[in-house]
Amino acid sequence: MKPVAIFRHAPTEGPGYLATFLSEHDIPWQLIKIDAGALVPGDVESYSGLVFMGGPMSVNDNLPWIPKITKLIQLSIAKNIPVLGHCLGGQLMSKSLGGTIKANTVKEIGWGEVTISNNPIARDWFGATTKTFLSFHWHGETFTIPPGATPILSSAYCENQAFAMGPHLGMQCHVEMTSAMIKSWCDVGARELAASTSPSVQAVNQIQHQLEQRVSALNRIAATLYNRWIKGLRA
């Protein structure tokens, strides 16, 4: 099988649990470190799927690699090669498909419940029984649901938490988290957390409370989504 291309946009925002999942399923993957100066590929034929991780920048920033990635996403979707986006990655997907990205009403940082939409496409991705789950969040912007896509996830602080379109999945929340990643983000973002008084932003001790149990439960949700996503991978 051709490898899955995983695009990293910041050193601390790697594939996390997704890398573990792919390796456990004997699916090869290649990390493309945009943050380290790696070039955006000009075509998608070398890959079975494309994955875009998070990052502190905005999709609306004037960065040279953003229009190249949006074109790559458009090409991949046109060729029915599955695309998967996490947070910034979901925003890149929305923009590529004609959606818009703007400031969310509040920053959403920490653990928060998300609700699975009551539609057949959401059930196809999450299964018939799960209605809500505790996800991890760290974002200040949000995407609109692009034309042709279906909303499948929402939260109290952010209406559009995920959308699906055929084999493609774009998410605002972070289902890829590991305990080590969360601790690292808390260290890097300590000032941001300490400066906030919003109920939508949790303190470090709240974020790291029962961390292993929460991450383990989130990994199980992520595995359900990733299992659905890899069904569309190209050989």
Look at residue 46 and tell me if it is in a domain.
yes
Look at residue 235 and tell me if it is in a domain.
no
CATH of the domain at 124: 3.40.50.880
Look at residue 100 and tell me if it is in a domain.
yes
User: Mapping DSSP to helix (H, G, I), strand (E, B) and coil, where does residue 148 land?
Assistant: coil
Look at residue 78 and tell me if it is in a domain.
yes
Strands across the sheet with 4-8, in order? Answer: 29-33, 4-8, 49-52, 83-86, 168-171, 162-165, 150-155, 101-116, 132-143
Q: How far apart are the C-alpha atoms of 197 and 209, rounded to whole Å?
A: 19
Residues spanned by the domain of 199: 4-230
pLDDT (tens digit, 0 to 9) for every residue of the chain, 235 residues total?
A: 999 999 999 999 999 999 999 999 999 999 999 999 999 999 999 999 999 999 999 999 999 999 999 999 999 999 999 999 999 999 999 999 999 999 999 999 999 999 999 999 999 999 988 999 999 999 999 999 999 999 999 999 999 999 999 999 999 999 999 999 999 999 999 999 999 999 999 999 999 999 999 999 999 999 999 999 999 999 8
